[in-house]
Amino acid sequence: MQRRTGTRRSRLGTPAAVAGLAVGLLLVAGCGFGDPVSGDDRTTVTVKSVADIDCARTGRLPGSGSTAQANAMSYWIRQYQQTCPPVRIAYNPVGTGGGVGQFLQGYTAFGGADSPVGTQDPKPVDGVCPGGRAVSLPMVGVPIAVGYHIPGVKNLTLDATTLAKVFDARITTWDDPAIRKLNPGVELPSLRIRPVHQSGYTGTTQNFQAYLAGAAPKAWPYQAELIWQGTESASASGSAAVASAVGSTAGSIGYFELSFAATRELRTVRIDTGAAEPVAATEQTAAAGIAGATVVGTGKDMPLRFDYRTSVAGAYPIVLVSYEIVCDRGNRAETLPALKSFLTYVASNEGQQSLAELGCAPLPESVAAEVRRVVGDLS
């Protein structure tokens, strides 16, 4: 036991872990990762002490990963530490791949990921999660908006099949009959469609492609990978760059976290799901979309499976759920109390209720309650 403990402590002292602690109070714009600010800058959401947090007595809790949950994580950390000042928590938004990798190598106590870890993913190295395994706990939802730039068009509706064909370059002009049929009375120009996808490996790309593959499998015969699988088109690095490209290019369309549409004043597509009315991307409609998901994991593992063909009124179907990756057993004794205390708060009503103000979607209470139960059983 002493040899294992020593190994784990040495990993926490690596440059990667120190860097994570150094940027623990990084703040970003919206629920996604935007321009960082520093010092005493704050988001518009008021941070206040929460009297009923069951605080850990002390400890340092390093985490890293998903940029999609970075702003929510910054808020959670500030609120928790104001109530529980002996505990120091840090989160480094290095992206899903980096966060999962650092967790599996033992550099952090939890990793943020925009998709759950699966059986095909790498396993924790020796000394990480001894006697247990890595599990995925959903913590926050992020609406993925489809932004467009068509001069003179204030409202646009697309369905999954049409959206898939647009992004796969099989519908190439905005006045295509399939688009006109979905938008009666809208004057659509004979303008070339310029789709923009995210370059590199991103959870936003994976979840957008999961929607296309799940809702329109015949029109989108590709896998839901972290990297773009459809016809190659214009690309940009990350949601901020895609939103910027859409805003500056007439005829363009792209996908990104909803907060980037708001900050850049971009119009977004309403999705025809088969419900009586097409559904716009909002924090509330995304939460309704998450409510239709099913937990499909075993034991303490809680990956969610979405019904991308849902026609429930007001349920937006293109949603990214960001997870915390933790050990179900074998957590470090020096971080376990803080880990359980912090994640219990994150999944509480207090932790979830301000997410809409941050451009995020809260978990349904049924899911959040199960997360709290699982966190309480971590060992």
Amino acid at 347: A
pLDDT score, position 36: 30
Confidence (pLDDT) at 41: 35
Q: In the structure encoding, which two tokens stand for residue 238, read together?
A: 């990350």
**Which residue spans of the chain are classified as CATH 3.40.190.10?**
2-142+322-376, 144-291
| pTM of the predicted structure, to 2 decimals | 0.83
Predicted local confidence at residue 97, as pLDDT: 87
Burial class (CB in 10 A: 0-12, 13-18, 19+), 180: middle
Distances (CA, A) of 224 to 81, 138, 220, 306, 366: 37, 19, 10, 13, 27
**How confident is the prediction along the chain (379 residues), in pLDDT tens digits per residue?**
222 323 333 333 333 333 333 333 333 445 765 433 222 333 444 455 565 789 999 999 999 999 889 889 999 999 999 999 999 999 999 988 899 999 999 999 999 999 998 867 788 999 999 999 999 999 999 999 999 999 999 999 999 999 999 999 999 999 999 999 999 999 999 999 999 999 988 889 999 999 999 999 999 999 999 899 999 999 999 899 999 999 999 999 999 999 899 889 999 999 999 999 999 999 999 999 999 999 999 999 999 999 999 999 999 999 999 999 999 999 999 999 999 999 999 999 999 998 988 889 999 999 999 999 999 999 9
**Four-way CATH pick for 2-142+322-376: 3.20.20.140, 3.30.56.10, 3.40.50.300, 3.40.190.10:** 3.40.190.10
pLDDT at 201: 86
The class (CATH top level) of 144-291 is: alpha beta
